[in-house]
């Protein structure tokens, strides 16, 4: 399967989510902070990033912005219990959002769906749907 970068500050949650993904056949790399995640992703070879929307040591929005500067920016899946997570997910153009606690099957399905689509394509505002208030659309393919 694919290589997944799991960004989660809570050790128990990081181990539990990582276990689900490894059991599904994915190679799982982990990062505790957004900065660490960006450094790992900039090395390349990451198919999907799974990140908690709440990271007290660095912002998910900033991570997404930095990832978009990479030539092969992987899609982001947000997994979070934060009340702000759905808005953050839309703002950064996440490929998927799952509310915690998420079903392991949902997580594995979302990762599998994104794993083959490692490069985002930013759609200019002129082509974005006028009904979409979240800014530029991102599609993967």
Average pLDDT for the chain: 79
pLDDT score of 138 more than 80? no
Q: Which position has the higher pLDDT, 129 or 65? A: 65
Alpha-carbon span 129 to 61, nearest angstrom: 21
Q: What is the pLDDT of residues 47-82, one digit of tens each?
A: 999 998 765 445 888 888 889 888 888 999 999 888
Q: Which position has the higher pLDDT, 38 or 137? A: 38
Instruction: Please report, for the chain, the start and end positions of each structural domain, with discontinuous segments joined by +.
Output: 3-140
Encoding tokens for residue 39? 């450094």
Q: Which CATH architecture has domain 3-140?
A: 3-Layer(aba) Sandwich (3.40)
Res 34: pLDDT: 86
CB neighbour class for 105 (10 Å; exposed up to 12, middle 13-18, buried from 19): exposed
**The 3-state secondary structure of the chain, one letter per residue:** CCEEEEECCCHHHHHHHHHHHHHCCCEEEEECCHHHHHHHHHCCCCCEEEECCCCCCCCHHHHHHHHCCCCCCCCEEEEECCCCHHHHHHHHCCCEEEECCCCHHHHHHHHHHHHCCCCEEECCHHHCCCCCCCCCCEEEC
Res 21: pLDDT: 92
pLDDT score of 4 more than 90? yes
pTM for the predicted model, two decimal places: 0.76
| Confidence band, pLDDT 50/70/90 cuts, at residue 116 | low
Range in 58-62, 97-101, 108-112 the model is least confident about: 58-62
């Amino acid at each position: 399967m694919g290589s997944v970068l799991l960004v989660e500050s809570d050790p128990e949650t990081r181990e539990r989510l990582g276990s689900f993904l490894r059991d599904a056949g994915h190679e799982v790399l982990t990062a505790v902070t957004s900065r660490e995640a960006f450094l790992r992703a900039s090395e390349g070879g990451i198919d999907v990033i799974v990140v908690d929307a709440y990271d007290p040591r660095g912002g998910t929005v900033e991570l997404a912005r930095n990832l978009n500067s990479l030539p092969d920016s992987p899609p982001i899946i947000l997994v979070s219990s934060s009340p702000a997570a759905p808005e953050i997910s839309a703002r950064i153009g996440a490929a998927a959002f799952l509310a915690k606690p998420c079903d392991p099957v949902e997580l594995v399905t979302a990762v599998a769906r994104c794993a083959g689509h490692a490069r985002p394509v930013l759609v200019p505002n002129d082509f974005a749907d006028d009904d979409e208030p979240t800014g530029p659309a991102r599609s993967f393919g």
